[in-house]
Amino acid sequence: MLSLKRLARPSIMASQLLRLKDHKELFYDIPLSHHFLAQRTSTRSFDFYKLGSKEAVEKERTRLADEMNRGYFADISELKKHGGKIALANKIIIPAMAAVKFPSLEVNYSDGKTVKLPIDSNGNEDAADADKSPIPKASLICISFRANSQSMINSWSLPFLDAFRGSKDVNLYEISFIDSWLLCRSPIKWLLLRIMKKSRDAGINNALKRQIVYSFADHYYFRKELKILNLLTGYIFLLDKFGRIRWQGFGLATEEELASLLSCTSLLLEDK
């Protein structure tokens, strides 16, 4: 009887996962207390061999203090105040000399293919060759950590896709971050990738494709580099051909902010 129960558990989990339309529902079908715990633990597991390193211990202590000071409830409180608009988007393009590099990030397509972003002219030529696509002059990277921010992402990506659908020099990525320890385990990760939504192209013959990708990892230090605190809002980054951030937006797009994004993208496309 015991062996039958053990055999039943994986099949039950698989059937439950297959009923999901996409992975993000997992974040909203579980109780809030589990939400809170998942964000606290993320995917990391502190290596015991590092315990002898004072530097590693101090680094871990700093991280724990940082995560305890900022959590899910703080994100919810902020979201109620400003609806995800944690800051206004840039009005003009960020000068190249002042622009910072977008952190390197490995992402997965739903078919399991992996690519490292950003694809740029000074570090990721191999990724560009693997993807059989030229290095873009401009890339729009839309980041979401929870399902509720998808409408925010759409408010930027859909007008952008419509404006530059004929351009071969532009890339558009929508990245969903998955930081749950359980969902990042290999068997469940590959099962999720099989049932996740694929890249959606409004027009199959468009030069610009809406590429939907997923990142399974502990994203704490990635978020620190980009100064990302609230995980319930959407983040938009416009990169140049060198992978530098030349424009940034947050939350739902306004008409003025969209005009700024499209104008800055056009400037990058004109740059030789």
pLDDT for residue 242 = 95
pLDDT for residue 107 = 95
Give pLDDT tens digits for 116-171: 999 877 655 444 444 456 899 999 999 999 988 999 999 999 999 999 999 999 99
Length of the chain: 272
The helix or strand, by DSSP H or E, that contains position 214, with its residue range, turns out to be: strand 210-216
Residue 206 DSSP class:
-
pLDDT for residue 64 = 66
- How crowded is the C-beta side of 253, counted as CA atoms within 13 Å? 25
Please tell me which residue, 31 or 131, carries the higher pLDDT value.
131
Give pLDDT tens digits for 219-261: 888 999 999 989 999 999 999 999 999 999 999 999 999 999 9
Give pLDDT tens digits for 190-226: 888 888 766 555 445 688 989 999 999 888 889 999 9
Nearest-angstrom CA–CA distance, 176 and 160: 18
Nearest-angstrom CA–CA distance, 254 and 193: 32
Is pLDDT of 92 > 90?
yes
- Which residues, at least 6 apart from 3, have a Cβ–Cβ distance to it below 8 Å? none
Strand order of the sheet with strand 114-117?
Answer: 114-117, 105-108, 210-216, 170-178, 138-144, 235-240, 245-250
Q: Provide, rounded to the nearest whole percent, the portion of the chain with pLDDT above 90.
A: 44
Nearest-angstrom CA–CA distance, 59 and 268: 39
Domain boundaries, position 184: 1-272
Confidence of residue 68 (pLDDT cuts 50, 70, 90): low
Confidence of residue 83 (pLDDT cuts 50, 70, 90): confident
Give the CATH number for residue 234: 3.40.30.10
Quote the number of domains for the chain. 1
Whole-number average pLDDT of the chain: 77
Nearest-angstrom CA–CA distance, 56 and 60: 6
